[in-house]
Structure 1
Amino acid sequence: MKQPYFIAYMLSGVLLGPEVLGIIGTGEAIEQLGELGIILLMFFIGAEINLPSLAKNFMKPLLAALTQLLLSLGLMWGIGYYLNWSYTTIMLTGSIISLSSSAIIFQYLSRNGEINSSLGLITCGVLLIQDILIVPMMLTLNFMARGSVEPSELIKVSLGALVIVVFLRAAFMKNLFRIPFTKDILADHDLQVFIGFALCFGMAWITHWFGLSAAFGAFTAGIVIGQDKATRWLDRSLVPFRVFFLAFFFISIGLQIQLAFIIENINTILFMALSVLVINSLINAIVFRATGHSWRDSVYAGALLSQIGEFSFVLMTMAFDLKLVGSYIYQVTLAIIALTMIFATIWIAIIQNVEIRVLIKRE
């Protein structure tokens, strides 16, 4: 059917889960394996990024991501005020819809050869900033649940962010990283695999220890290593592991979805999922237009960033564990996130077809 594989992975999770075949009763172990897939994916994406071009255009994605977050929070405040939502629900929903899927869009841009285009670099930059923003979002959730945040935690996160910025700046100024004994490594496939894992997960562990996203650390390692042409063997050595573990991530999403709940609330879920796609498309199109892109590129970028991302699952799961939301909100949100991800490429294709028809009519 020419659809992305992650859709099959999610549907597999639903089928293998307790509500259908009952082969897998719990998704905790698979969810942990899936997190490894996200880390590997971000590592490979970082290796493909053109660092000088990304650094040169960094302010645009930064402003775009922050503006998009503020617009999302403002919109949710307006809806929440009308529907009498709590302050916690407004902040949570605004944060959730502001995060797009790095796993889907990075792969989409890479497959279409657009990842190092002008629009692709800014879109990647926005996704990167969103992945960074997950940290203050999680701190905010902890504050709302506990009423305070440990000062040591804030200092640790700030120090980690500063270290990463200095590290990336050093990588940009000169070729910071070189692997020794490259000739010996090229002749040893097993060694390639373990060196690749050490580089990827080593940096991921460091950023996780600082309280930042582990995926962000892997992305940083990928950017730095990508500057060294002698590391091209990483692609063929680690790609199978990325595919394998990333499949587990989307399977874990499917395992958490309650099919009976979706059927019972199908009208509400479909309406809200479609509303999210439309709203996010409009918000991001306006933001990209404000950064100087043409309306055609802005609408396309809006479609690319229209779905809700994988880190939104992390936020909602955390909110549920902290008892900030109930079971109903939790399941509705999981279903909406999953549907927007499933419909993502279809929505992008629809927007592109509409754009082409509009251009033809103008001509």
Structure 2
Amino acid sequence: MHLDPLMLKLVAALLVILVVGLGLRILKQPHVVGYLLAGVILGPHGLSLVADQHAVARLGEFGVIFLLFFIGMEASPKRLIANWRVTVIGTFIQISASVGMIWIVGAMVGWSIARIVLLGFVISLSSTAVVLNYLHDSGRLRTKVGEDSIGVLLAQDLAIIPMLVVIGILGGGQPDPHTISLQAIGIVLVAGLLVWMVRSDRVRLPLGARLRADKELQVFVAVLICLGLALITGLFDLSTALGAFLAGMLVGAAKETHWVHQRLEPFRVVFVAIFFVSIGMLLDLGFVLEHWAMVVALLLTVLVTKTGINAVMFRSLGDTWRHAVLAGAVLAQIGEFSFVLAAAGARTNLITDFAYQVAISVIALSLLVSPAWIGGTLRLLKRNKARAAQRAANAQN
């Protein structure tokens, strides 16, 4: 029996994740920060223990799928549709405002319209994985902040489709009528499934009663439900994460399938960790240190600007300023799908290689500091609330 070299790398990777994770938990930081830092250490710009970034990234995509599936189980189709103003109008306002802000900057420095639109799209997206992980861990999924954030994230997932089409056209490509038709059919089917779940008094899944007594088969059925609907939406060239979310809502509506959550929880933990590790691997610390002033300035500008845009958007739709600012901070980071948009821009020469590296650095760092940004905003809001209460008490006295 010989020792497989992969075993040594796997054990070393797990040890790094464990040590970094424990260290950050002592500092009261969320697990996601530990996973991202572990990715930086393990990746090609760190110890290079993990060489195949593509394979890790593909495994990490399952983390997003399982995460959306779990969130879908706790979401209500009726409340999601009732919140359509935030989901549709709010997301449109947020994306338009992001492009508008970049337009102002681009007009001053002489950027092309194509570059302005691309970068506006890049910063407009928020991270599904980071936001949902935060909402899940903080117990805010069923709050107004949670429901508004989920609605915007789902709309952004659908908005990626026209974004990629627009970027392709600006880069000199031609839209594919077959792909567009396929996506249109998929969107209609998704809408039909949502309407059916809203109108149905009770949803029953095949073999639901029989499976309650068979714990082994429950695992396979749960994975089949999750990945099956993700596959279907993927076949229609829509987001697989969207399909997983719909699968979660379907399972949540079927009351006899409460066992699904318990069976798939270990899968969620492992694959979500792999996803964040894969994001950390993209961060080139050498590049960041060399251009740290520019990267930090851009990072702070993005966080402040996105928090402001989102806060104004939520406030304009009737939320209180306190709720609007917190929801704005929750959505302030740049999303993982922005990596896809930035790569598409680099392939079509809408941005240079240097600009692409800057974009990758800012996106990855925004994911890394997002939990601290949300926590800082929440503490600031609580402090302001306490001061307001104290002033009111002093006024009465």
TM-score normalised over the length of structure 1: 0.96
Q: Which amino acid aligns with 2:29?
A: Q
Indicate the structure (1 or 2) with the bigger Cα radius of gyration: 2
Alignment partner of 1:134: what SS?
Answer: helix
Q: Alignment partner for residue 353 of structure 1, among 368, 379, 383? A: 379
Structure 1 counterpart of 2:107: 81
Whole-Å separation in 2 of the counterparts to 1:165 and 1:281: 30
Which amino acid in structure 1 is aligned with residue 249 of structure 2? I
Which residue does 1:141 correspond to in 2?
167
Residue 307 in structure 1 maps to residue 333 in structure 2? yes
Mean CA deviation greater in 112-121 or 84-93: 112-121
Cα distance, 1:175 vs structure 2: 4.7
Shift of 1:272: 0.6
User: Which secondary structure state, in structure 2, belongs to the residue aligned with residue 339 of structure 1?
Assistant: helix
Partner of 1:197: 223
Q: Is the 8 A contact 2:231 2:243 kept in 1?
A: yes
Find the counterpart in structure 2 of residue 39 from structure 1: 65
Asked if the contact 2:103–2:116 (Cα under 8 Å) also holds between the matched residues in 1, the reply is yes
- The answer (yes or no) to whether the contact 1:119–1:297 under 8 Å persists in 2 is yes
C-alpha deviations, 1:277-312, integer Å up to 9, x for none?
100010001000001011111111111111111111
Aligned equivalents of 1:317 and 1:293: distance in 2?
36
Residue number in structure 2 paired with 1:12: 38
Q: Match for residue 302 of structure 2? A: 276
Taking the aligned partners of 2:88 and 2:123, their CA distance within structure 1 comes to 17
Letter in 2 for 1:190: E
Gaps of 5+ in 2: 1-26, 392-397
User: Does 2:83 correspond to 1:53?
Assistant: no
Q: Percent identity?
A: 37
Aligned partners of 1:219, 1:146: CA distance in 2, in Å?
34
Say yes or no: does 1:211 pair with 2:247. no
Q: Which residue of 1 aligns with 2:133?
A: 107
Task: Please give the root-mean-square deviation of Cα atoms over the aligned residues, in Å.
Answer: 1.6
Per-residue deviation, residues 80-123 of structure 1 (Å, max 9, x unmatched): 11111122221111111111111121222222222122332122
Query: Match for 1:291: what amino acid?
Result: L
1:347 counterpart letter in structure 2: W
Give the letter for the 2:59 counterpart. L
For the 8 Å contact 1:50–1:116, the answer to whether it is kept is no
Deviation at 1:50, TM superposition (A): 1.9
Counterpart in 1 of 2:366?
A: 340
- 3-state SS, counterpart of residue 171 of structure 2: helix
Q: Give 1:176 shift.
A: 6.7
2:121 corresponds to:
95
SS at match of 1:178: coil
| Residue type of the alignment partner of 2:228 | G
Which SS does the other structure have where 1:343 is aligned? Answer: helix
Counterparts of 2:235 and 2:42 in 1: how far apart (Å)?
A: 34
Does the CA contact (< 8 Å) of 2:45 and 2:283 recur in 1? no
Between Structure 1 and Structure 2, how many residues are aligned? 363
Runs of 4+ in 1 over 3 A off after TM superposition: 321-324
CA contact (8 A) 1:61 1:129 kept: yes
Aligned equivalent of 1:162: 188
Query: Could you tell me which residue of structure 1 aligns to residue 153 of structure 2?
Result: 127
Question: 1:318 & 1:270 partners in 2: Cα distance?
Answer: 24
Q: Which runs of 5 or more structure 1 residues have no equivalent in the other structure?
A: none
Alpha-carbon distance between aligned partners in 1 of 2:128 and 2:374, rounded to the nearest angstrom = 15
Instruction: Name the structure 1 match of 2:272.
Output: 246
- Give the Cα–Cα distance (whole angstroms) in 2 for the partners of residues 336 and 176 of structure 1: 46
Return 239-248 or 170-179, whichever deviates more.
170-179
